[in-house]
Amino acid sequence: MASLTTSTIAALGGKLAVDIELSASNSNDNVTSATSGRIYVCQIDNTANSDAFYVKIRDAASPSTSTVNGTGTPHIVLQCPARKKVTYAIPGGHAYAAGVSVWGGTSTTVGDTSAATNPVIVKLVCS
């Protein structure tokens, strides 16, 4: 099961903060259920790994890494170099209608969920 924490943070204007641990035992997750909103910030902590990691985000009500008919094609792919923590800010936010599904892997290949050696921590700030 995912290490998933959600909370409202008043300092961010009541936005939803989501903390996801992507690891061998948890390679993907739906983090907002079936809801709409915008993603404003994504932070990827890959400091525990010696290889780059790619976080893939799709507007979907449930996680899918399927490559059939584009159902698992990510809408956003964010790279985090080895031994780094990177924060991506999305001015105006990236809209989603069905929900936010997140998965990751060590390559940009659409269906790749190959786990990093150690867990990668992903934090999202959404409306």
- What's the CA gap between 85 and 83, in Å, rounded? 7
Is pLDDT above 60 for 9?
Answer: no
Q: What is the pLDDT of residue 60?
A: 85
Which residues lie closer than 8 Å to 121 by C-beta, 6 or more apart? Answer: 19, 20, 21, 22, 44, 45
Q: How confident is the model at residue 13 (pLDDT cuts 50, 70, 90)?
A: very low
- What's the CA gap between 64 and 24, in Å, rounded? 16
Q: Which residue has the tokens 């780094």?
A: 84
The predicted-structure confidence for 14-68, as pLDDT tens digits, reads as follows 566 677 888 877 766 667 666 888 899 999 999 999 999 999 898 988 776 666 6
- What's the CA gap between 106 and 57, in Å, rounded? 15
Q: What is the pLDDT of residue 110?
A: 76
Closest of 30, 31, 41, 97 to residue 65, by C-alpha: 30
Q: What is the pLDDT of residue 108?
A: 85
The predicted-structure confidence for 61-112, as pLDDT tens digits, reads as follows 877 666 666 667 889 999 999 999 999 999 999 999 988 888 888 988 877 7
Q: What is the pLDDT of residue 44?
A: 95
Q: How confident is the model at residue 10 (pLDDT cuts 50, 70, 90)?
A: very low
Which residues lie closer than 8 Å to 92 by C-beta, 6 or more apart? Answer: 38
